[in-house]
Structures are given as C-alpha cells and as structure tokens.
A and B are shown apart, each in its own frame.
Chain A
Amino acid sequence: MTRKTFLTENRSVFWFLLSLGVFALIITVLADGSGNGMISTSFVKTLGRTLCLMLVAIAMDVVWGYTGILSLGHMAFFGLGGYMIGMWLMYARTEIVLTASLNAAPIPPTPEEIHDAIGSQIFGLVGSSEFPAIWYFAPSLPAQLALVVLVPGVLALVFGWLAFRSRVTGVYLSILTQAMTLALSLYLFQNDSGLRGNNGLSGLQNIPGLGDVPQSHLSIAFFWASAVALGAGYVLFAWVVSGKMGSVIRGVRDNESRVRFLGYHVESYKLFIFTLTGIVSGIAGALYYPQAGIINPNEIAPIASIYLAVWVAIGGRGRLYGAAIGAAVVSLLSSWFTGGSAPDVNLGIYTIQWTDWWLVLLGLSFVAVTLLAPKGIGGLFDLIGNRHPVPATSSTAAGPDLGARRTVEGEEEK
C-alpha cells in the first residue's frame, strides 16, 4: 500500500490550486497593469472580488455543507472584516491628505490638530467631529489587521457559544443568525454607531502611502492577494474537513446525538467550526472591500447571507470546490445580468429586461438545483470517474459466522 499523504487523499486540493494558479497567471498576462491590457482594471477588480466571495463560500460550505449548521449570518463577519480594514484605510488616507494641506499653512499643525481635522473630515458627513471610541486603533495598521481577525472571531465565538450551548439547531438557528446580521446592519445604519451610518466607509480603493501607484497595479496586487488567500483558505479547510475532524463534523451533521453518545462534546465542535469560518469570512471581507472601494451597512443586510447560501447550494454542498465554483459562477453571472450587459429578450408582447428579471432567474435556478440536482454544479465532477472505488466484498455474509444472515438470499434447502 502506498503511503497516504494529505495531497494524495485530497486530490481536489491539487487540482484546485493548479487551476487557481493558472487562472491567476492568465489574468496577470492579460491585465491592464501587468500585461497586454486586454482586461480592464475594473474587471480585474471584479475578478479579485470574486475570489474573495469564493473564499467566504468555502467557509460557508464548511459550516453548512459539512457541519450542517445553516448559518444565514456569515456575511456579517465578512462585512465586519471589511469595516475593520476600512477604518485604517480611511483614517490613514485622510491623515496624508490633511497633513499635506495643513503643512502648507504658516503655522505647522500639532498632532492633536491633525487628529481633530481628520475627525471632522471623516465624521462631518454625519454631523460630528469626535472620534468614537471604536476608532481608537484606527491609526495603526497592525492593530486594525488584528481586529480583522478578532472582531469577527469574538462575535462568532460569543454568538455561537450562546446559541449552541442552548442547543438551538436547525431552522431556529438559521433564524437566529439572520437576526444577528439584521441587528448588526440596523445598528450600523445609525449615524451615531461610529461607522458613518448609511454612508459607510468610502475611498477604500486608495491605499495610503501608495498614492503614486496606479489603480491598474494595485488591482493586480489585490487580485493576487485574494488568490493567495483563497488558495490558503482552501488548503486550511480541506485539511480541517479531512481526517478525523471531518469525520466528527459530518457525524454532527448527520446524527448529532449519536456523536454525543460517542463522547464528543458536540457544542465545542460547532463552536470551533463556526468561529474558524467566521474568522476566514472576516479576512475575505478585508480583502474584498479595498477592491470594492466602499462598504456600508447594506452589505451585511440579511439578504447578503442568503445569497451566500444560494451560491453554496447551486455550487454543491459538502465539497469545497463546488462552493467555490458556485460563488464564482453565480456572482459573475449576477454582475453580468444586473450590469446591463445581458441582451434584452424581446418576446413580442413583453421585453425581458435582465436587470429586473435576474433575481427571478436566480430564484428559479435555486429551486431547480435543490429539486433536480441536489449535488449542484460540483456534482458534474462525479461524472468524471468514480469518486469512491470500493472493492466488492468477497463474502455476502452480514456477520462474522458462516451461519450469519446473508445479503444475498441463498438457495432454500430441499
């Protein structure tokens, strides 16, 4: 028997990383900033964002497809990650702009004056000029990067601990996660929440200190960062769901109480998966929003997390590449249809405009996939070769004895 390693047991990791690498290279060659310019900067950004969505989708697949927790709140963690990086981006950039203009004044400004000026610049929009306490770490990039991990992580940990400890499961848990993301977005919509209410944080595409670097170069750098994060996330989750951990969490999905009677503390496992996926979602968000340029509370509205579940369902639950493909296909199609580039369909009496009808099409495909192809797009890969070549048992006996019940009926004795 050949020695089994992580890669030989998880072929999809190799193929996924290979395709991702080839794809990233092709885009680099064709991109405006690094290649022959066949692909526009804005499309590179769209692709980079799509990679981040694929990352959050595989996190969703681990929590839903593998562990069986239908979380409809993971985009809250994604959004929080975006807000955390956005705070630094906005602060540092405003600081650079204001320092330059204030230094031109006859009397050089004190650090306090600069700080206050940044405050009134950022919060003037919501009728305030004071920095809220949550912006305490905003001047520091390392601190905000730590918060990208900590804020979604701690929220997932606390929420998960409360929910799983009370043994809330199934649809009730889904509703609870929806309530969490709704409450968070409603809170952030308030002007005095400290994150600029419905205006959100903007200008995030301008990276402080890299003002001279054109967006075409920044976009390809972020594209690569997203690709690396997706690849690393894929390897991480493939490792988590393989081996014994994967065995236990799939056991939790299929029969929670049986896992308990085997001595596993189910709640700890759920909490571990929920928190880990929450953290990865936060990191994905922190990479997504600098490529989007703006974040506002709409981004963590309940519908965002429902879309996430739809992507994973269409792509195929319970296999990581399925979720990634689903997120890529659906989100790219979505931007194509809603971007107005899809041609209208003239039916004579009625013209289908895809900007209006895309959601109907998405809804119908979701229903169709759920009913007709529960394995989703990822199920197509089963057509290539047998996934589980299992040797047939040589004996038909159900038990250890010759007299055991047989799976095949024997001849009746005459």
Chain B
Amino acid sequence: MKTLLEMSGVSVSFDGFKAINNLSFQIGEPELRAIIGPNGAGKTTFMDIITGKTRPDSGTVIYGEKSISLLKMSESQIAMAGVGRKFQKPTVFEAQTVRENLAMALKNRRGPFDVLLYRKTSRGAKRIEELAETIGLTDALPRIAGELSHGQKQWLEIGMLLAQDPRLLLVDEPAAGMTPAEREHTTDLLKRAAKKHAVVVVEHDMEFIRRLDCRVTVLCEGSVLAEGSLDHVTSDPQVIEVYLGR
C-alpha cells in the first residue's frame, strides 16, 4: 500500500474560528478509512480542502505518485486528477434525466470542445447501464432526477461518484436516510471500491462504521484526536470524553 494523499500541518480559520487546526492525515491506495467526530469537528472542511473548495491558511496537501500539491489546483483539475466527492445532501442535476446525470459524470475528456464534439458511444451507454444496475435505477434512467425520492437521489449521487472512476473517493454521510438493507448494500459498494482505490467515509452512525471494518480517524476541533481500529478509538478515554461520553 502506497500513500495516495498526505496532508500535513494544515490549518484554516474562518473569521478567527479555527475550523482545522494543524491537521495531518494520510491515506494509502487501496485503503478504506472512516472519519468520525462530533458536529463542528471540521469533517466537511477537511473534504473542502482536499477538493479545492477551501484554501488552507497553512500546511501542505500532497497527492499521487508525482507528489503534486493540490493547493495550487482548481476544483476541476483536482477532480480530473482522480478525486471524487459525494456530498452530504444529495446534489444531483434535478432538471436533467438520470441518464444525463450519469453521462456527465462518466470518465471522459472534459474540455468544452471535447464535450461539444462528443459522440455517444456504445461503451459509454453500456457503462451507464452497468452503473444504473449497481445503484438500482435501471428503470429510472429516462426519468428527470428531480422526480426521484431522497433515497434514490442519494443512490444516483453514489452512481455519479463511481462513474467518475476516481482514485480517491470522499463520501460524506452516505447512509443518511437509508434503510438497513440499503446501508448494507452501500457498505458492500464502498468496500468493493476500497479494494482498488482510497475511500474516505465520513459517518455518524457507529453501526455503519463497524460494518466497514476499517481504520478509523477521530476528528475533534479540527485536528486528529485518535486513529486506529474502531475498538481502539472507542476505548480511548479522550474520545469517550468528547464524543461518546456526551
């Protein structure tokens, strides 16, 4: 397992409030990692920094074999480098069909002229069918995404993440609003993705984390409080104090 992403000494503050405080974090490829922490621990900001949405005040974020710094890249360049993200609140393009949503996410060249002259291929169509099968939306492919239920949008967004074929998957609360059976399916998908790639899952649900059966990082007040197996971190007195004790 080689390191895919390395964050070190990253700090960011909003109007004096330190959202991330000297955070260091590493993930290899392949690896599955869960991140837990109380509200306001900086989980979403952590993802914002990796995806280029938020620029840190200090620190470094190094990615890939060539050790490129993500801090100098735009959001779209970072996404093209292989970082995919699933948002906490499902954000799909509601005015477009499920098929169009997936087609947009499909791994392809992303320049305006590439897209303008893009021809639909049978390979692309097949990939979309496969993805739709995986996320259980085969029947819904011609539907407008806005008509889908919350749970279906959640699945569509997972499908869009998979369609990008990223090397680093950042998944924010994938199981929110899902039934136990769907959660199981989601864990399977994430575990399967983590066989080849790096997957970071932010989640509140301890049962879900336990099923992922992976290394856990506990964030608190913008820095790492503890790291290790779930049993290890849950027995850590500090973690119990800030997170589980309350």
Chain A residues within CB distance 8 Å of chain B:
240, 243-245, 247-248, 250-251, 254-255, 257-266, 268-269, 272, 388, 390-391, 393-395, 397-405, 407
Contact = CB atoms under 8 A, between A and B. Distances in A.
Interface in B136-152: 136, 139-140, 142-144, 147-152
A167 to B, nearest CB: 11
Interface of B: 51, 53, 74-77, 79-80, 84-85, 87, 91, 93-96, 100, 103-105, 110-113, 115-116, 118, 120, 133-136, 139-140, 142-144, 147-152, 154-155, 160, 164, 177-182, 184-185
B76 A263 contact: yes
Contacts of B111: 265, 268
Contact of B95 (A250, A268, A393, A398): A250
A247 B103 contact: yes
A243 B118 contact: yes
A262 B182 contact: no
A403 B181 contact: yes
Contacts of A257: 53, 75
Contacts of A403: 179-182
A398 B93 contact: no
A244 B113 CA distance: 11
B144 A388 contact: yes
Given A399-B152, A403-B180, A247 B136 contact: no
A401 B136 contact: yes
Contacts of B75: 257, 260-261
A399 B181 contact: yes
Given A257-B75, A264-B110, A399-B136, A244 B182 contact: no
Contact of B93 (A244, A251, A263, A272): A251
B110 to A, nearest CB: 5
B85 to A, nearest CB: 5
A266 B218 CA distance: 35
A398 B182 contact: yes
A264 B103 contact: no
A199 B94 CA distance: 50
Contacts of B180: 403
B151 A405 contact: yes
B79 A261 contact: yes
A125 B143 CA distance: 64
A30 B154 CA distance: 60
B181 A258 contact: no
A344 B55 CA distance: 63
Given A245-B115, A247-B100, A261-B75, A395 B139 contact: yes
Contact of B151 (A245, A251, A259, A398): A398
B74 A265 contact: yes
A244 B118 contact: yes
A245 B104 CA distance: 9
A262 B105 contact: yes
Contacts of A250: 93, 95-96
A248 B111 CA distance: 11
B142 A390 contact: yes
A261 B84 CA distance: 7
Contacts of B184: 401
B76 A260 contact: yes
Given A244-B118, A260-B79, A407 B149 contact: yes
A393 B115 contact: no
18 contacts: A244-B104, A245-B118, A247-B100, A247-B103, A248-B104, A257-B75, A260-B79, A262-B164, A264-B115, A272-B112, A272-B116, A390-B147, A398-B148, A400-B185, A401-B136, A402-B181, A405-B179, A405-B182
> Which of A240, A254, A388, A393: most chain B CB closer than 10 A?
A393
Contacts of A259: 104
The 4 A-B pairs of least Cβ separation, nearest first, read A403-B181, A400-B136, A398-B151, A263-B79
A388 B146 CA distance: 13
Contact of A268 (B84, B112, B144): B112
Contacts of A390: 142-144, 147
Contacts of B100: 247
Contacts of B152: 398-399, 407
B110 A251 contact: no
Given A388-B144, A398-B152, A399-B152, A245 B116 contact: yes
A399 B95 contact: no
Contacts of B164: 262-263
Given A260-B79, A262-B164, A398-B148, 13 more contacts: A240-B116, A245-B116, A247-B100, A250-B93, A251-B93, A263-B79, A265-B74, A265-B76, A266-B76, A268-B112, A399-B152, A399-B178, A400-B135
